[in-house]
Amino acid sequence: MAQSPNFKLPSLHTLVRSGLGVPIGLLAILAMVVVPMPPLVLDALFTFNIALSIVIVMAVFYVARPLEFGVFPTVLLLATLLRLALNVASTRVVLMHGHNGTGAAGHVIESFGEFVIGGNYVVGMVVFVILTIVNFVVVTKGAGRISEVSARFTIDAMPGKQMAIDADMNAGLITQDEARKRRGEVRAEADFYGSMDGASKFVRGDATAGILILIINMVGGLAIGTMMHDMPLGDAARTYSLLTIGDGLVAQLPALLLSTAVALIVTRMSGEQDMGGEVARQLIGKPKALWIAAGLLAVMGVVPGMPNLAFLAMAGACAALAWWRSWRRQAAPQVEPVPAPLPSPESREITWDDVRPVDAISLEVGYRLVPLVDASRSGDLLARIRGVRRKLSQDLGFLIQSVHIRDNLELSPNAYRINLAGVTVGEGVVQVDRELAVNPGRVFGTLAGVATRDPAFGMEAVWIEPDKREHAQTLGYTVVDPGTVIATHLSHVVSQHAHELLGHEEVQQLVNGLAKATPKLVEDLVPKVLPLSVIVRVLQGLLAERIPIRNMRAIAEALSEVALRTQDPAALLAHVRIALGRQIVQDIAGLAEEVPVITIEPELEQLLQGSGQGAGNLTPGLEPGLAERLQRQVAEAARRLEGAGEPAVLLTPPTLRATLARFLRAGIPGLHVLAWNEIPDSRRVRLVTAIGR
């Protein structure tokens, strides 16, 4: 006879690990509403409910950030359901067996009815009403309001925070993985406070339900005791009132604890903090405040008729605490800065070594901005600039030269200047002790501060105090620190002038790197067919038209196809653009299958082609008035497309592309001029408007 397999019930640890613990617990809570519970089980569950509430309060108090307890809204809902289910179960026991005495519903309810309120149901009623008022009117109402405001402000601040993350990533300050992590934290924060806004309604509804359950139990108990069990009215009133009030107090204590937990978590700052340490530091961290409090208490303690001993004792305690805080501050070690040794004057003769070459990229700062680049003063501008170089090098396809930083006493104290090859190409002014709130185009209020414009993109901005950062973000502003302002401006300037930074040395490094992967291609191209100088001109032309040169293999293959027919850099550039068409269109329009374009009417197109393209501009065959109208119409069409969130693309014949690109590039920075043969076959074009005479 075969033995039957042994059957073992899964342990609690196994249920929790498998994820079945919470669903089973929820079903058990709902079952308590309909299944009668014996008094012994009620005692255990009431004790567990109180313990659970205490654990939740402690978890909220010691968690470093609110998001670390992101499951709190769900826990709050489950705890509220448990308490309401216990109310229903205890109500059933009180009404069914209350005539047997105050111990009919278990020892916990009896203890709260007899010991906590001294067996006096009038006192119990007063205590219950006071607890309910404290919970419902003070804690729950305040926490609900804070949850609502926090949810609204957090959701309103999401666009500004997302743009700040994008700005840091574009400036090279953070990687894509870090940006993705920060975006996830922003979304999680919005979800958390939105959930807390709804969860606070559970607590408020629970407080209301507690009042209604108390009234129903008292009225129902009196009716059952006098009419069904023939109890005297006084005995029935006393027995059922004590049971009902004991039941209400047992439920109201965890409710008050949970309301306090909600208030604690929604009144905390969103950043990491040790709440206990921060409360102690900010509350009693100022000895002056403690000395004043001690003096006032001492004055009150010597007034005749006042409780002198109590006030004087408290004054002494405050004075002792103030003295202790002052002693701790004085005992802290003071680090004296070591002065740097003065440089000794040089007495040697001047040589050619003293004639230094011009820096490719340099940053000059006023004397008040020196702390931003001084690592000993927590300056992080150097690290940010390294991030900018890394990001631009990866995006553009060649190594950006080092940025040489020096102070310039000729500049105003808060000014900085960006130079390329010794020529100033950008400058600005920053406030070291403030932060810049940039208006991205849609904000919900105004800020008090110094009005200015973002030096990189010219957007409206305000210099604000650092403690106004959260408020500015809730209004939709993108808030950045002074170091980020300079780094972003540098990134923008370098990306605009990248073609000026690419020289023979950089191109030779690119060719050497390509030779390691495709040696035959490089051997047949450079210098047999094309000299290095021509390749430099082609790559500079690509960068001038904001096309990265990351795909050196495709560029070299395209050059090798036509190098035997022509060595004109303009013709070679046009052929390389065709080979890079898929990359160019994707950088402009993303992965969309349809590309919105602006075109030129046939009559104007023939006129432009007949005017001759001379030395790179629309030459004498085109009257100045028509050239001005052409630029104005293209600019208006480009603004309409950008306002609709679409790229501005002008589609032209291949013979006109280079000419129109040079003519329109300065007046319309966001415009992309493409030739018909640069659009890949996998993309469709959608005509938005046609420019005519």
| Residues paired with 423 in a beta bridge | 420
Residue 146 has pLDDT above 90, yes or no: no
Amino acid making up residue 211: I
User: Sheet holding 684-691: strands in order across?
Assistant: 671-675, 648-652, 594-600, 684-691
Give the pLDDT score at 419: 94
Give the pLDDT score at 274: 60
Give the pLDDT score at 492: 92
Are 397 and 550 contacting, i.e. CB atoms less than 8 angstroms apart? yes
* C-alpha to C-alpha distance for 475 and 444, rounded to whole angstroms: 5
Of 317 and 425, which is predicted with more confidence? 425
Residue 35 — pLDDT band, cuts 50, 70, 90? confident
Of 347 and 572, which is predicted with more confidence? 572
Residue with the two structure tokens 């949850």: 147
* C-alpha to C-alpha distance for 426 and 18, rounded to whole angstroms: 60
**pLDDT (mean) for 132-152:** 72
Give the pLDDT score at 3: 47
| Residues paired with 460 in a beta bridge | 453
Residue 573 has pLDDT above 90, yes or no: yes
* C-alpha to C-alpha distance for 75 and 81, rounded to whole angstroms: 10
Coil, strand or helix at 563: coil
What is this structure's pTM?
0.58
Give the pLDDT score at 1: 43
Are 570 and 621 contacting, i.e. CB atoms less than 8 angstroms apart? no
Residue 678 has pLDDT above 90, yes or no: yes
The distance from CA 53 to its chain's CA centroid, rounded to whole angstroms, is 31
Domain boundaries, the chain: 34-276, 286-301+308-323, 356-480, 502-579, 589-693
Q: According to the CATH classification, is domain 356-480 in 2.60.120.260?
A: no
Total residues found in the chain within this entry:
693
**pLDDT (mean) for 458-486:** 91
Output DSSP code: residue 404: E
**pLDDT (mean) for 204-211:** 73
Q: According to the CATH classification, is domain 589-693 in 3.40.50.12790?
A: yes
* C-alpha to C-alpha distance for 450 and 447, rounded to whole angstroms: 9
Give the pLDDT score at 527: 83
* C-alpha to C-alpha distance for 109 and 88, rounded to whole angstroms: 14
Coil, strand or helix at 689: strand
Of 269 and 255, which is predicted with more confidence? 255
Q: CB under 8 Å to 423, separation ≥6 — which residues? A: none
Of 489 and 277, which is predicted with more confidence? 489
- Could you tell me whether strands 450-453 and 460-464 are parallel, antiparallel, or unpaired per DSSP bridges? antiparallel
Residue 231 has pLDDT above 50, yes or no: yes
Question: Is the preceding peptide bond at 10 cis, omega within 30 degrees of 0?
Answer: no
Amino acid making up residue 32: M
* C-alpha to C-alpha distance for 217 and 591, rounded to whole angstroms: 65
Are 463 and 434 contacting, i.e. CB atoms less than 8 angstroms apart? yes
Dump the DSSP string for 225-269: HHHTS---HHHHHHHHHHHHHHHHHHHHHHHHHHHHHHHHHHSS-
Poorest-confidence range of 171-175, 398-402, 600-604? Answer: 171-175
As a whole number of Å, the CA-based R_g of the chain is 38
Among the ranges 233-237, 280-284, 676-680, which has the highest mean pLDDT value? Answer: 676-680
- Could you tell me whether strands 671-675 and 648-652 are parallel, antiparallel, or unpaired per DSSP bridges? parallel
Output DSSP code: residue 104: T
Query: In what helix (H) or strand (E) does residue 450 lie, and over which residues does it extend?
Result: strand 450-453
Residue-wise pLDDT for 300-328, tens only, equals: 878 887 777 887 888 888 888 888 877 87
* C-alpha to C-alpha distance for 203 and 263, rounded to whole angstroms: 11
Of 465 and 26, which is predicted with more confidence? 465
Residue 279 has pLDDT above 70, yes or no: no
Amino acid making up residue 585: V
Nearest to 338 by CA among 366, 376, 374: 376
Residue 501 — pLDDT band, cuts 50, 70, 90? very high
Give the pLDDT score at 618: 46
Residue 617 — pLDDT band, cuts 50, 70, 90? very low
| Residues paired with 404 in a beta bridge | 362
Query: In what helix (H) or strand (E) does residue 471 lie, and over which residues does it extend?
Result: helix 469-474
Coil, strand or helix at 654: helix
Give Cα separations from 224 to 96, 203, 231, 239, 248 (angstroms). 9, 31, 9, 12, 19
Residue 499 has pLDDT above 90, yes or no: yes
Q: What is the CATH number of domain 502-579?
A: 1.10.8.540
* C-alpha to C-alpha distance for 467 and 479, rounded to whole angstroms: 11
Of 129 and 279, which is predicted with more confidence? 129
* Segments in 475-601 forming alpha helices (H): 482-496, 498-501, 504-517, 519-525, 532-544, 552-562, 569-579, 581-589
Residue 10 — pLDDT band, cuts 50, 70, 90? low
Poorest-confidence range of 116-120, 431-435, 661-665? Answer: 116-120
Among the ranges 210-219, 288-297, 508-517, which has the highest mean pLDDT value? Answer: 508-517
Sign of the alpha-carbon torsion through 213, 216, 218, 222? negative
Residue-wise pLDDT for 157-202, tens only, equals: 677 777 777 777 766 667 777 878 888 887 777 777 777 777 667 7
Residue 426 — pLDDT band, cuts 50, 70, 90? very high
Nearest to 583 by CA among 548, 552, 615, 557: 548
Burial of residue 272 (number of CB atoms within 10 Å: 0-12, 13-18, 19+): exposed
Give the pLDDT score at 24: 76
Among the ranges 52-56, 261-265, 556-560, 622-626, which has the highest mean pLDDT value? Answer: 556-560
Q: 310: which 2 tokens? A: 């109590």
